[in-house]
């Protein structure tokens, strides 16, 4: 067995592999044709963030079984192509938590006391003691956006400085927040109340440019902002404008929309502290990830043990064809409820009834949690770690078996309980493969959980579906499928529209304003 270490990884990585009886070829900086030639006879490859493992690279590596990322993010690996080729992609999450948190605190202190500016002044031969005035951290409010592993460590250290820590996290329960000493607040309150704001969120469609001109205008005048998470969460153009105007007093950035940020106007501002993506750049963090990824690759190559995989999980191969449609259904239900749920969730109950009880429940529950948590957490979520991440977020996960369902041979029902009430969704397979949404809250229906969806709840009275449909048509959006349900005649009803294109913002607002509409949500599955 042979593993190629393609980036600059500490030598301990190769040492661990060799002790396991695996040949290790450490060739940092290898690229292009040299890389394509080097992968011809390898079974594993270790990368950091420089080497890109594309479909072309994998095509040239017929023996490749595992790609190991010495770190958390796998943006430089074509995970979809790897999955299609049966290649496990694994990472080493959490090993850089302390380093990233400490770097955040370093920037926080440097920003508060203008240390880089003072250093530049001294080196220029000046003694600007009277012109450089900082602020204390003690008594200030720190707003933490994202309370995953790094966010929690930052919060703990900020409290030691006497800061009042408030935070927003879409899945963290109030009980866990209380244990952390963090006051959970809506995201708008973070902007309005914080003296310092630090970001610890994943980059996704939902978080890209999460902080733009509108959000910055809501912040307190003189706010200071830090980002040691992912570039792109802050609209850098809007941030530059707010810094120039003086509304934002300062910023400290370790990550950027484009890395390196050549030509960025932020480079010219004295009120900005910039570091070149150093969050994980400590001796300790790099040693931890080097050892961890080597141990995981050795376990997989020698014992077929999958640890921290981002694209596969351990299931009996004989059950995969049977379980896959149920796993797909559960993940779709998770994404649906993730889009509809409001506020923190404290409990998830996954109820299995009928013939699905014959199969292992845990992979199906993990598939639901993957769909539910994926867009909400800063940590990578997959079916291997979904249950652990749910527990860390303070979500109690229950799995129950129920009696035979009346109308289905197999039924999976999900109940969410949280601060803002209860949400229920149930799904079944038609023809053993086609997923269906057969219940949403108190409504029974037959909906397709796929593609662009518009879900509308309204008073059950004549003309409602017509008015909603007319609004959709007027926006040049085509309806592909429609499912209806109601609790009783003259009560409340629900309509689930499958559409041929996404729901525009204006259309969603227009439908929400129709007399008799109780709520309207768009979902993409």
Which tens digit of pLDDT belongs to each residue from 322-340?
A: 888 999 999 999 999 999 9
Answer yes or no: is 344 within a domain. yes
Using pLDDT thresholds of 50, 70 and 90, give the confidence band for residue 384.
low
**pLDDT band with cut points at 50, 70 and 90 for residue 434:** very high
Scan for tokens 């992979």, then name that residue.
363
% of the chain with per-residue pLDDT over 70? 98
Residue 74 inside a domain? The answer is yes
Task: Answer yes or no: do 345 and 472 share one domain.
Answer: yes
Residue 66 lies in a domain: yes
Query: Could you tell me if 313 and 423 are in contact, meaning their C-beta atoms sit under 8 angstroms apart?
Result: no
Residues marked as catalytic: 230, 259, 277
Q: Is residue 311 part of a domain?
A: no
Asked whether residue 83 falls in the same domain as residue 117, the answer is: no
DSSP of 210-250, one letter per residue?
-B-HHHHHHSPTTEEEEE-S-TTSB-HHHHHHHHHHTSEEE
pLDDT above 90 coverage of the chain, percent:
78
pLDDT of residue 170: 87
DSSP one-letter code for 511: H
pLDDT at res. 470: 96
How much is the pLDDT for 495? 97
Q: Are residues 288 and 256 in the same domain?
A: no
Q: Which residues contact 100 (CB under 8 A, 6 or more apart)?
A: 150, 153, 228, 279, 280
Instruction: Give how many domains the chain has, as a whole number.
Output: 3
3-state SS class at 42:
coil
| pLDDT value at 274 more than 80 | yes
CATH number at residue 8: 3.40.50.720
Amino acid 116: pLDDT: 97
Per-residue pLDDT at 317 exceeds 60: no
| Together in a domain, 371 and 329 | yes
Residue 184 and residue 212 share a domain: yes
The answer to whether 10 and 286 are in contact (CB under 8 A) is yes
Same-domain pairing of 176 and 267: yes
pLDDT for res 467: 96
Element housing 176 (H / E): helix 174-180
Does 266 score more than 70 pLDDT? yes
> Does residue 294 sit in the same domain as residue 248?
no
pTM (two decimals): 0.71
Q: Does residue 449 contact residue 336 with C-beta atoms inside 8 Å?
A: yes
The answer to whether position 52 is within a domain reads yes
For range 120-140, the mean pLDDT: 95
Last residue within a domain, chosen from 274, 295, 313: 274
Predicted confidence band of residue 507 (pLDDT cuts 50, 70, 90): very high
Mean pLDDT along residues 175-190? 95
What domain range includes position 19? Answer: 2-95+283-303
Whether residue 492 sits in one domain with residue 404: yes
Would the pLDDT of 403 be above 80? no
For residue 310, is it within any domain? no
What is d(CA 301, CA 67) in angstroms, rounded to the nearest whole number?
A: 11
Q: Is the dihedral of CA 431, 434, 435, 437 positive or negative?
A: negative
User: CATH no. for residue 494?
Assistant: 3.30.1330.90
Give the whole-angstrom CA distance, residue 269 versus residue 246: 12
CA distance 211 to 52: 29
- Which pLDDT belongs to residue 268? 94
Give yes or no: residues 206 and 299 share one domain.
Answer: no
Whether residue 348 sits in one domain with residue 205: no
Query: Could you tell me which of 27, 32, 33 has the C-alpha nearest to residue 6?
Result: 27
Q: For residues 120 and 205, which has the higher predicted lDDT (pLDDT)?
A: 120
Within a domain: 312: no
Is 253 found in the same domain as 135? Answer: yes
- pLDDT value, residue 172: 86
Q: What is the pLDDT of residue 152?
A: 96
Model confidence at 65: pLDDT above 70 = yes
36 and 90 inside one domain? yes
């Amino acid at each position: 067995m042979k593993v190629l270490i393609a980036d600059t990884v500490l030598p301990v990585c190769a040492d661990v592999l060799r002790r396991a009886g695996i040949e290790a070829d450490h060739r940092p900086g290898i690229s292009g044709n040299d890389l394509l030639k080097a992968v011809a006879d390898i079974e594993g490859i270790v990368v950091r963030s420089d080497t890109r493992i594309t479909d072309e690279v994998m095509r040239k590596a017929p023996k490749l079984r595992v790609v190991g990322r010495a770190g958390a993010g796998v943006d430089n690996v074509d995970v979809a192509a790897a999955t299609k080729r049966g290649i496990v992609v694994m990472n080493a999450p959490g090993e850089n938590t302390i380093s990233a948190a400490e770097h955040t605190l370093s920037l926080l202190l440097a920003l508060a006391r203008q240390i880089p500016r003072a250093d530049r002044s001294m080196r220029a031969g000046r003694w600007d003691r009277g012109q450089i005035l900082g602020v204390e951290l003690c008594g200030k409010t720190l707003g933490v956006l994202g309370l995953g592993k790094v966010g929690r460590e930052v919060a703990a250290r900020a409290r030691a400085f006497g800061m009042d820590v408030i935070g927003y996290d879409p899945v963290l329960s109030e009980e866990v927040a209380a244990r952390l000493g963090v006051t959970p607040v809506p995201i708008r309150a973070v902007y309005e109340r914080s003296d310092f704001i630090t970001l610890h969120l994943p980059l996704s469609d939902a978080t890209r440019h999460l902080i733009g001109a509108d959000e910055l205008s809501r912040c307190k005048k003189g706010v200071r902002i830090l980002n040691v998470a992912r570039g792109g969460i802050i609209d850098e153009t809007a941030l530059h404008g707010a810094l120039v105007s003086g509304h934002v007093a300062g910023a400290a950035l370790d990550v950027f929309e484009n890395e390196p940020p050549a030509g960025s106007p932020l480079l010219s501002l004295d009120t900005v502290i910039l570091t070149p993506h150093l969050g994980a750049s400590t001796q300790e963090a790099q040693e931890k990830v080097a050892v961890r990824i080597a141990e995981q690759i050795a376990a997989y190559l020698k014992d077929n043990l999958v640890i921290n995989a981002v694209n596969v999980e351990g299931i009996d191969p004989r059950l995969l064809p049977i379980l896959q449609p149920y796993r797909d259904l559960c993940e779709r239900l998770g994404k649906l409820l993730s889009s509809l749920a409001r506020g923190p969730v404290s409990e998830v109950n996954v109820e299995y009834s009928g013939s699905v009880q014959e199969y292992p429940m845990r992979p199906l529950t993990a598939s639901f949690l993957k769909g539910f948590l994926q867009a909400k957490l800063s940590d990578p979520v997959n079916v291997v770690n979904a249950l652990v991440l749910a527990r860390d977020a303070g979500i109690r996960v229950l799995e129950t078996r129920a009696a035979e369902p009346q109308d289905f041979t197999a039924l999976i029902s999900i109940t969410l309980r949280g601060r803002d009430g209860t949400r229920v969704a149930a799904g079944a397979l038609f023809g053993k493969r086609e997923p269906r949404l057969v219940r949403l809250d108190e409504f029974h229906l037959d909906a397709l959980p796929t593609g662009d969806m518009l879900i509308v709840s309204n008073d059950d009275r004549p003309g409602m579906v017509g008015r909603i449909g007319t609004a959709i048509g007027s926006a040049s959006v085509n309806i592909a499928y429609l499912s209806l349900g109601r609790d009783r005649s003259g009560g409340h009803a629900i309509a689930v529209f499958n559409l041929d294109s996404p729901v525009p913002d204006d259309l969603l607002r227009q439908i929400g304003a129709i007399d008799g509409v109780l709520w309207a949500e768009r979902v993409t599955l």
